[in-house]
Amino acid sequence: MSKKHVVLAGAVMLAASAVALAGPAGGTVSGKVTYEGTPAKMKPIDMSKEPSCQKMYTTPPTVETVVTGSGNSLQDVVVYISAGAPDDAAPSTAAVFTQKGCRYIPHILAFQVNQEIKIVNEDQTSHNIHPLPKVNREWNKSQPPGTPPISEKYDKAEFIPVKCNVHPWMHGNFAVLKNSHYAITGDGGAFSLGNLPPGKYTVTAWQESYGDQSQEVTISGSETKTVNFVFKAKPY
Amino acid sequence: MRRLQITKIVLILAIGIAVPFAGFGQQMESHIGNLTGHSEAGRQLYYRYCWGCHGARGNGDGENAPYLNILPRNFVIGAFKCRSTPTGTLPLDSDLFSTLKRGINFTNMPNWSALTDQQRADLVAFIKTFSPRWKTEKPGDAIQVPAEPALSVASIKHGSELFQKLECWKCHGQEGRGDGPSASTLTDSNDQPIRPYNFTSDNRSKCGKTNQDLYKIFMTGLDGTPMPSFADVIKPEDAWDLVHFLRTLQYNNKSPELALWLSTKEGAEIVNAKKVQNTYTGSGVKP
């Protein structure tokens, strides 16, 4: 094989991997979630009934039903394609939900229908994990310290509040979604949903206290469309 | 013209009557031992005895529901407290049958011992027509309850350790009075306040009064309430120790467990210290 051929073969491989890296050619929907008005002040959590958790904090953490960031941005908003995309098969990796310091990490766990979730207790106290679905099955399991993770699945799409009855301040959410096009906003409220084949989509943003909002967007080719959501903050 | 109007009125009336009962066309059966229950027969009984609380559509919104503390079960959700199956699964027909026969202690659900076994079986079959879950899911596999080992002081003591380790006291209280630190904050899945079981009240728990019933309660959890399942965290042999200890908390109930516990110096001291006179709660506050 001549040197020229090797270079050529290398170039072809590079080109091929570049295509593979880009993934299936598709568009992106990105944007920012913000609020207008004055959101309720998030109250500090009194963990005095659970000293083993209380001592993990120098200043008490606050409740997380509305988490705001710089520039009126809203965190912990689930942005997802609610219509237009086909249902995806569940990924083989498990989504992990951790109980630490008598709080749920992450506060909102998003995963797909039939995807495994693993619930871990890193605390020195017993928790009970009590998700409160309306359309999925309701179960309620105790998890003392040092016991193995609980493995579960949900077979229908739903936003499910999660609580621990022993520690009433513990509150989180499961977002069970039908496809892999979803994001949870972080500080700054930004999101990006990629790999969208050309088509018409409904993009929905869900905030646990403010409800949901939807917008239609049409993707043609590999463009990036901007969709922003503004929620009206409630002062209570 | 007039005739047409009458037809119209009859039609509207018919729809008005039929709509509340729509969707219950499917037939269900229940099988309890040798008994087979039929939903068609159960329907008559339901609309005579049950719908006042559980509602015409079985979703727990009967006309008496607003007056009840601990709301009537919503059969459409298909979650039941007293089961022999794991948390989150449908109960066995025999579980529902037992609930009808026994009632749910400390709630407004009475026992239906005045009905015949066949009638109760028919009602179980009809209740299953309310939730689509009965068509798409099978009841869970019953939790196996091994034979109860011989009672011993060691068993009671080990049960007492488990009561601490599993933090049962967080809700039920150190003395089992249902007054633990989390008790006042508990709500059920209808967002209604609910009290944890007070062991000192009597020997009946919500789902029955035998040792086997107690065993099943903490292994299956009471779905729809804060009581979780401990099936993944308590070994079967440990579970019986916990049952033996829980019996000693019921100090007004002359059980073999309590008698044995009282025969030991340690046990007698603990039990007698709990017997606070003239108070409802033992908290020292006189009524």
What ipTM describes this predicted complex? 0.84
Mean pLDDT of chain B: 89
Q: Is A7 helix (H, G, I), strand (E, B) or coil?
A: helix
Q: Which CA distances in Å does B159 have to B167, B243, B257, B266?
A: 12, 7, 12, 15
Enumerate residues 263 to 282 of chain B having a beta carbon within 8 A of any beta carbon in chain A: none
Residue A45 has pLDDT above 70, yes or no: yes
Under 8 Å between Cβ of A202 and A83: yes
Under 8 Å between Cβ of B117 and B42: no
The CATH architecture that domain B29-136 belongs to is Orthogonal Bundle (1.10)
Q: Give percent above pLDDT 70 in chain B.
A: 87
Q: For chain B, give every domain's residue range.
A: 29-136, 153-274
For domain B153-274, the question of CATH label 1.10.760.10 is answered with yes
A139-162 burial string, b = 16+ CB within 10 Å, else e? bbbbbbeeeeebebbbeebbbbeb
Residues of A within 8 A of B233 (CB-CB) are 142-144, 147
For B162-207, what is each residue's pLDDT tens digit? 999 999 999 999 999 999 999 999 999 988 999 999 998 878 889 9
Q: Which two tokens stand for residue B286?
A: 């006189």
pLDDT at B282: 45
The C-alpha atoms of residue B150 and residue B213 are separated, in whole angstroms, by: 17
Q: Which of A125, A132, A141 sits opposite B228 (nearest CB)?
A: A141
| Interface contacts A/B by beta carbons within 8 Å | 75
Cβ of B189 and A166 within 8 Å? no
Q: Which of B166, B181, B189 sits opposite A138 (nearest CB)?
A: B189
Greater pLDDT, B1 or B231: B231
Alpha-carbon gap: B6 to the closest alpha carbon of chain A (Å): 42
Minimum mean pLDDT range among A163-172, B11-20, B108-117: B11-20
The C-alpha atoms of residue B49 and residue B53 are separated, in whole angstroms, by: 9
For B101-118, what is each residue's pLDDT tens digit? 999 988 999 999 999 999
For A12-30, what is each residue's pLDDT tens digit? 454 444 444 444 568 999 9
Q: Is A129 on the interface with B (CB under 8 A)?
A: yes
The C-alpha atoms of residue B34 and residue B32 are separated, in whole angstroms, by: 6
Q: Is B154 on the interface with A (CB under 8 A)?
A: no
Q: Is B191 on the interface with A (CB under 8 A)?
A: no
Report the predicted TM-score, pTM, of the whole model to 2 decimal places.
0.85
Under 8 Å between Cβ of A129 and A119: yes
The CATH architecture that domain A27-232 belongs to is Sandwich (2.60)
Q: For chain A, give every domain's residue range.
A: 27-232
Alpha-carbon gap: B280 to the closest alpha carbon of chain A (Å): 24
Under 8 Å between Cβ of B200 and B224: no
- DSSP state string for A15-62: HHHHHHHH-S--EEEEEEEEEES-PPPPPBP--TT-HHHHTT-SSPPB
Q: Identical fold at B29-136 and B153-274?
A: yes
Q: Tell me how many degrees the CA angle A173-A179-A184 measures, rounded to the nearest 5.
A: 40
Q: Which two tokens stand for residue A115?
A: 């995807």
Residue B6 has pLDDT above 90, yes or no: no
pLDDT at B15: 56
Residue A182 has pLDDT above 80, yes or no: yes
Q: Give percent above pLDDT 70 in chain A.
A: 89
Q: One-letter amino acid identity for B261?
A: W
